Amino acid sequence: MTDELVDLIRDALRVVIDPELGLNIVDLGFVYGVSVEDGAVWIVMTATTPGCPAAGFLREGVSNSALRVPGVKSVDVTMTFEPPWTPDLMTPDAREELGFQN
């Protein structure tokens, strides 16, 4: 059930759109990890840069989206910049949509 819940949470996070890039944070590779224990969820994520003005918006969107998943009781979102985000973390479709070479 834990793996299924992690998958449901990742799917729910696809509604969080980076306002600068216009794509969801999962396809952009911003979500580094999701772990669940007894309904408590820990999400480790990043943004394009440490000074990203959208970081607070993204963090709040992640928390709110994860809380809507049945079985989730609490959410803790940690922003990290280690490792730094690079376009290599995006899905091939996201790279293509933004014009990066695959």
Strands (E), the chain: 31-37, 40-45, 74-79
> How are strands ordered across the β-sheet holding 40-45?
31-37, 40-45, 74-79
Q: Are 90 and 80 in contact (CB under 8 A)?
A: no
Q: Which CATH class is domain 2-81?
A: alpha beta
Q: Are 29 and 91 in contact (CB under 8 A)?
A: yes
- For the chain, give every domain's residue range: 2-81
Q: Are 91 and 49 in contact (CB under 8 A)?
A: no
The verdict on pTM exceeding 0.85 is yes
Q: How confident is the prediction for the chain on average, in pLDDT?
A: 94
Q: Could you report the per-residue pLDDT of 85-98, keeping only the tens digit for each? A: 999 999 999 999 99
Q: Could you report the per-residue pLDDT of 40-68, keeping only the tens digit for each? A: 999 999 999 888 899 999 999 999 999 99
